[in-house]
Amino acid sequence: MAELEGLEFGKSDFVLLDEVSMEQFMENLKLRFEKGRIYTYIGEVVVSVNPYRQMDMYGKDSIEAYRGRELYENPPHLYAVSDAAYKAMKRRAKDTCIVISGESGAGKTEASKYIMQYIAAITNPSQRAEVESVKNVLLKSNCVLEAFGNAKTNRNDNSSRFGKYMDINFNFNGDPTGGHINNYLLEKSRVVQQQEGERNFHSFYQLLRGSSDEILESLHLQNDPALYACTKEGATSNNDRSSHRAVMNALQVIGFSKEEINSIYQILASILLLGNVQFESDGESVQILQLEAVNHISDLTATDPESISKSLLYRTVATGGGEVIEKGHTEQDVSVFIFKSFGRINSVIEVKNYNPVLHGKNTVIGVLDIYGFEIFDNNSFEQFCINYCNEKLQQLFIELILRQEQDEYQREGITWQEIDYFNNQIIVDLVEQPHKGIISILDEACLTAGKVTDMVCLDSMDTKLAQHPHYTSRKLCPTDKTMDFKKHFRIRHYAGDVTYSVEGFLDKNKDLLFQDFKRLMYNRFSSSPFLKEMWPDGQLSITEVTKRPLTAATLFKNSIVALVDKLACKEPYYVRCIKPNEMKSPVLFDDARCQHQVAYLGLLENVMVRRAGFAYRQPYARFLQRYKMTCEYTWPNHLMASDREAVEAIITQHGFQDDVAYGQTKLFVRTPRSLFTLEQERAALIPILVLFLQKIWRGAIARMRCRRMRAIYAIMGCYKRYKVKAHFWEVERRFANVRTMPDYGKSVEWPTPPAALAQFHNNTVMLHRRWWARQIVKNIPPSDMLDVRAKVAALTALSGERKDWGASRAWERDYLANTSSSFSRISKELRNKDEYSQVLFSGFCRKVNRFNKSTDRGLLVTDKYVYKLEPKKQYKVLKRLPLDAVSFTGLSVTSGVDQMVVLHTSSQDDVLLCLQQGELCPNQDRVGELVGVLFICFLLLHSSAHVLCRHHSVSVPHRPEKQTTEERTHSDRGQQ
């Protein structure tokens, strides 16, 4: 049973039909075709319906799905049969074969391609170069065979006009090591004549349309197929150019040398030119009209034109006395030479470089792409041979199926029941029996001296076969008006009655390729052993040729007998191809057309033979694995002594004891209904089991995810703790000796902290800075502490806005006292008068008023007042401002090197000063000193301070009439 296919797609195996009848068979086949299921089983036989569209079922995913699986595990597919044949070959060292049959357009060629593709895909897992080379050769061979053996017909754009059998050799590892190709009954007459709307073989059009101008010129050809008699009937295809490149590449991959490829295409060119040779006859002799084509042929075949002309016009015959005479040819003889030449090309195409002696013992998978029964309105010699071939294959098929059934029943200890089936040996004997069969009668007519016609031959068959139950003609049955006198005979084949027209039988059966042509071509290729194989009998001289060549029918019979012998020693697998309609439509299913094919392919008989004993059989382990969920004693695992007892429990629970038989290793089910009962119950349980398994699996996944998350968080926690500890250890290592360092660790670089310690790191850095500052301050003398505090205050107030503010020098504060004795006296008087305790700052400055006029002044800052003094008048006090938050509101400085200072008052009568009269001395910046002492004073007295720092300098020109004050940007700095 195939997995993943519901009952809405019909029965995936015709053996499981409730009733074996043509109506039931066709109904199931049509349903599956309409549902897009083009493959259906008959046991191990695959019935394939051509879908006439691309199917998404041949990719890498499909190959993996069928690789190593059993037939019943997946829906029916070519890959399943291919894998079964490969496994039988590899596991049991058993030669196997896959027989593909069906009429033209049924999809045989495509089926063989997919089988080759699958075998190539599943072999050589180690990618050995020599094996890959053989695989490429096997795949490329199809391309070459299609070019030289396929043509467009009215029924199929890529119709195989021959049957082919490919043997693929495998080593003990199951890897391909080589192969060989045999072809059967190539339709050589197509080379010189095609029906309306059909084409010649693809290779001619590919040569003409795909070759370069240089190559065509060397072959004396032009790229227009309409110029040649052999190709003028068919239209070119858009794929001819690309196909030609593919064929050229494939020939090289297969192993043809450049010289051999050139020789093959020279033969093709010669055939095209031969088709254009015209003759005229005066009743006694025949002459060639134009010798230009003959000259071109002689150039291509490396012979002189006279030899070509002589071979075309005359044939040489040796008499019994050794005398050699010449006889004239007919145009028919030349036509035969043309298509025989083409036929010889196909006979030498095979996979190269395979030597069984070198590769040792090997096994084989054979792939047979052969035509099915053909029943046309007008059936001729080709249909006779084809139908004879199918009779032989059908006989082999029935014998192998019955033998396999009988062997299996005997091996399993099941009572064998005789199967009543039609044995077509009588029809095979009708065709091939020595001295009495149709082929013998045809050969006898061809060998008879004198004028023997097709009608004479038909009379001979009527006489010798009159009593045969499967042969008749109009002469033997005068009342049957479906046949004509002296024209038709009928054979009752196993697939139906076929009426043949005897016209042309003898001509097609004779080998009219005379020895002169063979010797000419053999001598032309004397330097090429490969191409000499095409004309082996040309090596004989005219006097050495004593026997007539075998007829076409005898050659075909011998090849089919050899083929059957090959297949008989192999384990066969079958692919039966069906053409659903004549319109190449992907949706149309022609019931009558398909029923006709089902009949002549013997598919219904195949089902009957398969079901004659037991419709279904399966090893106990596989049956138990598939149906154990339908029994409470076997699900999920049984506790019985053997799988057979467990299977018996399943059968007993469902009440099928009378419908089964127990073998040594397999269970045999007689009717499909019992199996379908199990399938329906299984199909109902599968969703429940799937949900249960999903629940268990999802729970398992959730628990695994939970454990994983817990593990992740545990690892994260441990890692974070480790990072924190590692940070502490690193800080401890770096700062272990900072107490003994000259800079107390100021130059030590702090390690980058983890994110969790960012705030802690900032606090630690701040603590270290305070500690470092404390260590520095501890070493400062008490006398210098006042300056240090002032400098720290200035640094805090300016906040880096002013680059140079006198931090590197000692601050004297009272500069006026050191430069003038009169100032000292005035200072004492003011101290007594205003009762301030200390002088914070004093110095010369230049005052700028609101009118931009500047004058020299003195500045005295005490802890209670700010004094503006007149130095020229004994430091007379010009203005006194209380140093408190009410009258004194702020101080502004610039960020440049100038000494500009603005004292802001509550009365908005600000004082603009430039410290230090005249040019500044080096390192005499006093702005920072004034800011520092005032900042400390306000902090001590009023607990607040405000300093405004002006960016850019304030310009005061020397010419009073143009004095201006420019302020561009500023920023306030404050501290509470």
Two structure tokens written together for 103: 């009429």
The residue annotated as part of the active site, out of 74, 82, 104, 270, is: 104
pLDDT recorded at residue 712: 95
Is 437 annotated as catalytic? no
Binding-site residue numbers for ATP are: 102-109
Q: Could you tell me which residues are beta bridge partners of residue 379?
A: 500
The residue annotated as part of the active site, out of 105, 149, 745, 858, is: 105
Query: Which CATH number fits the domain that encloses residue 141?
Result: 3.40.850.10
pLDDT recorded at residue 545: 54
Residues 152 and 227 in one domain: yes
Ramachandran category for residue 952: left, alpha or beta (phi over 0 → left; psi -120 to 50 → alpha) = left
Q: Which residue, 684, 701, 718, sits at the end of a domain?
A: 701
Q: How far is CA 4 from CA 68, 72, 73, 779, in A?
A: 17, 10, 9, 92
Is 68 annotated as catalytic? no
Is 105 annotated as catalytic? yes
Two structure tokens written together for 389: 């071939």
Domain contains 951: yes
pLDDT recorded at residue 394: 79
pLDDT over 80 at 409, yes or no: no
pLDDT recorded at residue 352: 46
Name the residue with higher pLDDT: 796 or 535. Answer: 796
Contact 416, 463 (CB under 8 A): no
Domain contains 577: no
pLDDT recorded at residue 873: 86
Name the residue with higher pLDDT: 515 or 87. Answer: 87
The residue annotated as part of the active site, out of 28, 112, 159, 211, is: 159
**Which candidate, 241, 90, 234, places its Cα nearest to that of 170?**
90
Domain contains 867: yes
Contact 556, 185 (CB under 8 A): yes
Name the residue with higher pLDDT: 357 or 168. Answer: 168
Query: Which CATH number fits the domain that encloses residue 901?
Result: 2.30.29.30
Classified as helix, coil or strand, 241 is: helix
Contact 25, 45 (CB under 8 A): no
Residues 122 and 241 in one domain: yes
pLDDT tens digits, 306-364: 777 777 676 665 544 444 444 445 545 444 444 445 444 555 554 444 444 444 457 88
Identity of residue 497: D
Query: Which CATH number fits the domain that encloses residue 637?
Result: 3.30.70.1590
Q: How far is CA 792 from CA 452, 813, 814, in A?
A: 138, 15, 19
Two structure tokens written together for 173: 């590892």
Q: Could you tell me which residues are beta bridge partners of residue 868?
A: 859, 879
pLDDT recorded at residue 436: 87
pLDDT recorded at residue 447: 79
Is 955 annotated as catalytic? no
pLDDT recorded at residue 534: 64
Torsions phi, psi for 397 (to 5 deg)? -60, -50
Residues 344 and 487 in one domain: no
Give the pairing type, strands 96-102 and 571-578: parallel
The C-alpha atoms of residue 496 and residue 259 are separated, in whole angstroms, by 49
Q: Check residue 127 and report its DSSP letter.
A: -
Average pLDDT of the residues of the chain: 79
Listed in order, strand segments (DSSP E) in 522-591 are 571-578
Two structure tokens written together for 482: 């479906």
Torsions phi, psi for 669 (to 5 deg)? -110, 130
pLDDT over 80 at 186, yes or no: no
Domain contains 916: yes
The residue annotated as part of the active site, out of 62, 109, 301, 387, is: 109
pLDDT recorded at residue 389: 87
Looking at the chain, the whole-number percentage of residues with pLDDT higher than 70 is 82
Residues 239 and 119 in one domain: yes
Name the residue with higher pLDDT: 529 or 427. Answer: 427
Contact 205, 157 (CB under 8 A): no
Cα angle at 495 between 560 and 601, to 5 degrees? 70
The C-alpha atoms of residue 710 and residue 866 are separated, in whole angstroms, by 73
The residue annotated as part of the active site, out of 12, 82, 150, 160, is: 160
pLDDT recorded at residue 788: 83
The C-alpha atoms of residue 85 and residue 755 are separated, in whole angstroms, by 66
Residues 278 and 135 in one domain: no
Classified as helix, coil or strand, 842 is: strand
pLDDT over 50 at 954, yes or no: no
The C-alpha atoms of residue 151 and residue 149 are separated, in whole angstroms, by 7
pLDDT over 50 at 234, yes or no: yes
Domain contains 592: no
pLDDT tens digits, 92-106: 778 888 988 887 788
Count Cβ atoms within 10 A of the Cβ of residue 629 and give its class: 0-12 exposed, 13-18 middle, 19 or more buried: middle
Residue 726: which pLDDT band, with cuts at 50, 70 and 90? very high
Residues 768 and 859 in one domain: no
Is 104 annotated as catalytic? yes
Looking at the chain, the whole-number percentage of residues with pLDDT higher than 90 is 13
Average pLDDT over residues 590-612: 82
**Helices 258-275/331-346 angle, 10° precision:** 160
Residues 803 and 836 in one domain: yes
Binding-site residue numbers are: 102-109
Which segment of 29-38, 136-145, 183-192, 787-796 scores lowest on mean pLDDT? Answer: 183-192
Q: Check residue 56 and report its DSSP letter.
A: S
Domain contains 62: no
Residues 835 and 955 in one domain: yes
Residues 505 and 519 in one domain: no
Residues 469 and 415 in one domain: yes
pLDDT recorded at residue 672: 65
Query: Which CATH number fits the domain that encloses residue 507?
Result: 1.20.58.530
pLDDT recorded at residue 336: 47
CA 931 to chain CA centroid, Å, is: 81
Contact 42, 78 (CB under 8 A): no
Residues 127 and 172 in one domain: yes
pLDDT tens digits, 736-759: 988 888 888 888 999 999 988 899
Question: Sheet containing 488-493: which strands, arranged edge to edge?
Answer: 471-473, 488-493, 496-501
Q: Report whether the peptide linkage leading into residue 76 is cis, meaning its omega lies within 30 degrees of zero.
A: no
The C-alpha atoms of residue 242 and residue 226 are separated, in whole angstroms, by 20
Classified as helix, coil or strand, 935 is: helix
| CB proximity list for 223: less than 8 A, separation 6 or greater | 208, 209, 211, 213, 216
Residues 875 and 922 in one domain: yes
Contact 261, 530 (CB under 8 A): no
Identity of residue 460: S
Q: Report whether the peptide linkage leading into residue 636 is cis, meaning its omega lies within 30 degrees of zero.
A: yes
The residue annotated as part of the active site, out of 260, 374, 444, 681, is: 374
Contact 130, 352 (CB under 8 A): no
- In the chain, the number of structural domains is 6
For 577, what's the count of Cα atoms within 13 Å in the CB-facing half-sphere?
25
Average pLDDT over residues 901-927: 76
Domain contains 357: yes
pLDDT recorded at residue 322: 47
The residue annotated as part of the active site, out of 150, 156, 862, 895, is: 156
Contact 363, 93 (CB under 8 A): yes
pLDDT over 80 at 645, yes or no: yes
pLDDT recorded at residue 888: 77
Contact 337, 329 (CB under 8 A): no
Name the residue with higher pLDDT: 274 or 673. Answer: 274
The residue annotated as part of the active site, out of 372, 613, 843, 932, is: 372
Residue 969: which pLDDT band, with cuts at 50, 70 and 90? very low
pLDDT over 80 at 154, yes or no: no
**Which candidate, 389, 810, 797, 785, places its Cα nearest to that of 561?**
389
Domain contains 127: yes
pLDDT over 80 at 537, yes or no: no
Is 159 annotated as catalytic? yes
pLDDT recorded at residue 358: 44
Most confidently modeled range among 235-249, 308-322, 824-838, 921-935: 824-838
The C-alpha atoms of residue 281 and residue 714 are separated, in whole angstroms, by 106
Range of the domain at 251: 110-255+352-371
What is the end-to-end Cα distance of the chain in Å, rounded?
92
Which helix (H) or strand (E) element contains residue 311?
A: helix 305-313
Two structure tokens written together for 968: 């561009």
Residue 565: which pLDDT band, with cuts at 50, 70 and 90? confident
